[in-house]
Chain A
């Protein structure tokens, strides 16, 4: 039991729980382990469990095209994060799918047990709901930021663009308006005559270390974080074309 209490102690929603409360609360949790790629729950499934990530990484994703298996990632959750609260609090079906991207350990508590515990410990209940509300508001703000950026991007798509470099330049200007903090953003297009990539647009706000200017061509195939500071957006060569 001590081990469970230790794990719960580091979780935001339980931060104001006393040791004895955590011990009592831990009894209601069931621990489940998932391997990478395992589905925790599917979209539109019924469910009444709140899940807490004890270890690993979980992706929350919404299906865009069932036949093609296309999903939009809504959130990436790590140690200490919780999910599934919409089904627990609102009694709704699962809004999106949850999938393990790494081997993960989750704690799950179902709605009746959570409500019973909160009835017994109203003060702790206030803390739990305050934390759930805080995280929900953070997520709402994040979604609003993304929506605003997408709205601006959609205006850009409606304009006429003379070339890919011109479009990349305007995109970089647009992205930079929405990013908090100081960022260097550089855009590259493949040279038609050799295997190199030419810098076509740049917006630099601080003195960089030039590391981002030396992306190896094999690395360009993989979008994502290159380290704790640099994200790489890669534009794959697509066959065919859809009308704009």
Chain B
């Protein structure tokens, strides 16, 4: 796992409230997870390229 987000409600939620939120949270989780994976992939790729001397650290843009 790259990471996670916890969302805690101040009040206890009913099954219906939880069900409604689940569909939204699942979608956001999918989008954010893909984006985090992409950011980490490119960060690793840039660091590796710097390490191999393929690019100048000054030109590296995250």
Contact = CB atoms under 8 A, between A and B. Distances in A.
A39 B28 CA distance: 26
B42 to A, nearest CB: 7
Interface in A207-244: 208, 211-212, 215, 220-221, 223-226, 228-238, 240-242, 244
B12 A229 contact: yes
A187 to B, nearest CB: 5
Interface in B21-62: 21-29, 31-43, 62
A110 interface: no
A74 to B, nearest CB: 6
B28 A164 contact: no
A47 interface: no
B18 to A, nearest CB: 6
A188 B2 CA distance: 9
A142 interface: yes
Contact of B16 (A78, A161, A225, A229): A78
Given A187-B3, A220-B1, A232-B4, A244 B38 contact: yes
A241 B38 contact: yes
Contacts of B15: 78
A89 interface: no
21 contacts: A72-B27, A77-B19, A157-B31, A163-B39, A168-B36, A185-B5, A221-B1, A224-B22, A225-B18, A226-B6, A229-B11, A230-B6, A230-B8, A231-B18, A232-B6, A234-B33, A235-B32, A235-B36, A236-B1, A238-B33, A241-B41
